[in-house]
Amino acid sequence: MKTAFKLSLLLASTLLAAPAQAQSTPEEVAEAALKAAPVWDGHNDVPWQLRGRRANVLDGFDFHDTHAEPAGDEGETSAMHTDLPRLRTGMVGAQFWSVYVPASMPEPEAVQATMEQIDVTERLIAQYPDDLALALTADDVAAAMDEGKIASLMGMEGGHSIGSSLAVLRQMYAMGARYMTLTHSATLSWADSATDTPEHDGLTDFGMDVVREMNRIGMLVDLSHVSEATMMDALDVAKAPVMFSHSGARAVNGHARNVPDSVLARLPENGGIVMIVGLPGYLSEAMRQRSAARAAEEAKLKSLYSGQPDRVDALLAAWDLEFPPVEATVSDMADHVDHVREVAGVDYIGIGGDYDGMPSGPVGMEDVAGYPALFVELARRGYTQDELEKIASGNMMRVMRGAEAYAASVADQPPIESPVG
């Protein structure tokens, strides 16, 4: 009896001495973290969906339920990834809405289209004042979160949106854009893209001035989509924290859109952030390899059986049966978080889903309602509540405040001038 009594006392004292979190389940740790620090997501393409599906006409659009939105010009229905109830379920407290337009547009057209995307985003925010609040500063984000609203910021996706003009860059900031991805899928006259033929070995002199001017006015420099050389040049020039609005770790998945370790290692010095993307092809290396193998098989079959599309289709279908599709999961996304923590540290991680800019998120996170599943998985891997709060929104808040602080420190500096024409 004495031995049993001593064991009971030992167990009780151990439980009392253990931190409260150690007695919590991963679900409880994740829930507590997201209640304290809701997700600040780096990239969502709802504005582009509004352009493609509705030509930016909001009449008849119901952001309370987007499951049955018409999909483009074909008239069929295809659920969007985002609406207000699912944002609430996903514990999203702040959102960078992407005012993306295609890099294939001639630059003057891209400038106009970007302004139209800013306009439709602002009109959408204004239409739902009980749920959304336009945010232009970190203080605006904090205030919206305190009020239980989703802070709504805007980011440009690609330098084609400024038409190679620092004047247009400044005017886009004045209209509310708070980050710009230096390139999208195409190399520009002043910056190399990750997924196009490089022309400059990074940034040109004008490209470096773009980074300097963005720092001066307080616009965040987004390095998703750019080449490794462009990343390095931007980090050489930047005086404020940079961001990767929706990227993964290249050591986990070798896609050029992901961030190499050479760049991750420089993040602590700069103070920037990698907001982990949810696009399956950037998460699962097995999926990426299978996709490349299928593309190679299809090209081979088309070459072998030219003019015989039925035979090509039949043989490709047989290949698909032999090598079935690979799915990305929440665990794959967590692997990217783990790697960035290992190389850069937990203070340099955020979340940038890319919802409504891809066919689907990973299994278990198919739409914006799925963010808690990622945080449960991270808690299961041993992340503390404090670390989860940093990943959810604390790190992005620090980055934005850092950019604002630098801009305030150089407020007496004149704009960088560049000749037009």
How does pLDDT run along the chain (421 residues), one tens digit per residue? Answer: 444 444 344 444 444 444 444 569 999 999 999 999 999 999 999 999 999 999 999 999 999 999 999 876 555 568 999 999 999 999 999 999 999 999 999 999 999 999 999 999 999 999 999 999 999 999 999 999 999 999 999 999 999 999 999 999 999 999 999 999 999 999 999 999 999 999 999 999 999 999 999 999 999 999 999 999 999 999 999 999 999 999 999 999 999 999 999 999 999 999 999 999 999 999 999 999 999 999 999 999 999 999 999 999 999 999 999 999 999 999 999 999 999 999 999 999 999 999 999 999 999 999 999 999 999 999 999 999 999 999 999 999 999 999 999 999 999 999 999 998 7
In angstroms, how far is CA 224 from the centroid of its own chain? 8
Backbone conformation region of residue 349, classed left if phi is above 0, alpha if psi is from -120 to 50, else beta: beta
Single residue among 275, 295, 326 that ends a domain in this structure: 326
Same structural domain for residues 141 and 270? Answer: yes
Q: Is residue 421 part of a domain?
A: no
Question: Residues 258, 250: contact at Cβ < 8 Å?
Answer: yes
User: What string of H, E and C letters represents the secondary structure of 262-287?
Assistant: HHHCCHHHHCCEEEECCCHHHHCHHH
152: β partners: 95, 134
- Cα 214 from Cα 403, distance rounded (Å): 9
In angstroms, how far is CA 4 from the centroid of its own chain? 55
Question: Residues 43, 98: contact at Cβ < 8 Å?
Answer: yes
> The domain spanning residue 343 has which CATH number?
3.20.20.140
Per-residue pLDDT at 197? 98
Active site residue 157: yes
Same structural domain for residues 294 and 387? Answer: no
- Cα 8 from Cα 140, distance rounded (Å): 52
User: What string of H, E and C letters represents the secondary structure of the chain?
Assistant: CHHHHHHHHHHHHHHHHCCHHHHCCHHHHHHHHHHHCCEEEEEECHHHHHHHHHCCCCCCCCCCCCCCCECHHHCCECCCCCCHHHHHHCCEEEEEEECCCCCCCCHHHHHHHHHHHHHHHHHHHHHCCCCEEECCCHHHHHHHHHCCCEEEEEEEECHHHHCCCHHHHHHHHHCCEEEEECCCCCCCCCECECCCCCCCCCECHHHHHHHHHHHHHCCEEECCCECHHHHHHHHHHCCCCCEEEEECECCCCCCCCCECHHHHCCHHHHCCEEEECCCHHHHCHHHHHHHHHHHHHHHHHHHHCCCCHHHHHHHHHHHHHHCCCCCCEHHHHHHHHHHHHHHCCHHHEEECCCECCCCCCCECCCCHHHHHHHHHHHHHCCCCHHHHHHHHHHHHHHHHHHHHHHHHHCCCCCCCCCCCC
Out of 184, 200, 336, 339, the active site residue is 184
Per-residue pLDDT at 17? 45
Same structural domain for residues 199 and 319? Answer: no
Same structural domain for residues 298 and 397? Answer: no
Question: Residues 157, 196: contact at Cβ < 8 Å?
Answer: no
Q: Is residue 2 part of a domain?
A: no
In angstroms, how far is CA 349 from the centroid of its own chain? 11
Per-residue pLDDT at 350? 99
Which is nearest to 39 in space by CA: 79, 100, 89, 85?
Answer: 89
Single residue among 326, 359, 393 that ends a domain in this structure: 326
Count of CA atoms in the C-beta half-sphere (13 A) of 233: 23
Greatest CA separation found in the chain?
Answer: 93
- Cα 284 from Cα 331, distance rounded (Å): 10
What the block records as the tokens of 407 is: 């801009």
Question: Residues 357, 100: contact at Cβ < 8 Å?
Answer: yes
Q: For residue 338, what are the domain limits?
A: 24-283+328-409
Out of 41, 43, 339, 377, the active site residue is 43
Q: Is residue 56 part of a domain?
A: yes
Question: Residues 140, 146: contact at Cβ < 8 Å?
Answer: no
Same structural domain for residues 395 and 295? Answer: no
Per-residue pLDDT at 398? 98
With 0-12 CB in 10 A as exposed, 13-18 as middle and 19+ as buried, what is 98?
buried
Active site residue 246: yes
Same structural domain for residues 358 and 398? Answer: yes
State phi, psi for 279 to the nearest 5 degrees: -70, 120
Q: Is residue 18 part of a domain?
A: no
Same structural domain for residues 160 and 292? Answer: no
Out of 81, 225, 336, 339, the active site residue is 225
Active site residue 200: no
Out of 31, 41, 69, 157, the active site residue is 157
Same structural domain for residues 68 and 209? Answer: yes
Count of CA atoms in the C-beta half-sphere (13 A) of 238: 28
Same structural domain for residues 264 and 316? Answer: no
Q: Is residue 13 part of a domain?
A: no
The residue behind tokens 């010095």 is: 269
**Number of separate domains in the chain:** 2
Single residue among 275, 303, 326 that ends a domain in this structure: 326
Same structural domain for residues 320 and 363? Answer: no
Per-residue pLDDT at 421? 75
Q: Is residue 43 part of a domain?
A: yes
Q: Is residue 266 part of a domain?
A: yes
Out of 81, 160, 200, 246, the active site residue is 246
Q: Is residue 8 part of a domain?
A: no
Out of 209, 335, 354, 387, the active site residue is 354
Same structural domain for residues 220 and 119? Answer: yes
Same structural domain for residues 142 and 208? Answer: yes
Question: Residues 170, 183: contact at Cβ < 8 Å?
Answer: no
Out of 31, 45, 122, 285, the active site residue is 45
- Cα 63 from Cα 392, distance rounded (Å): 24
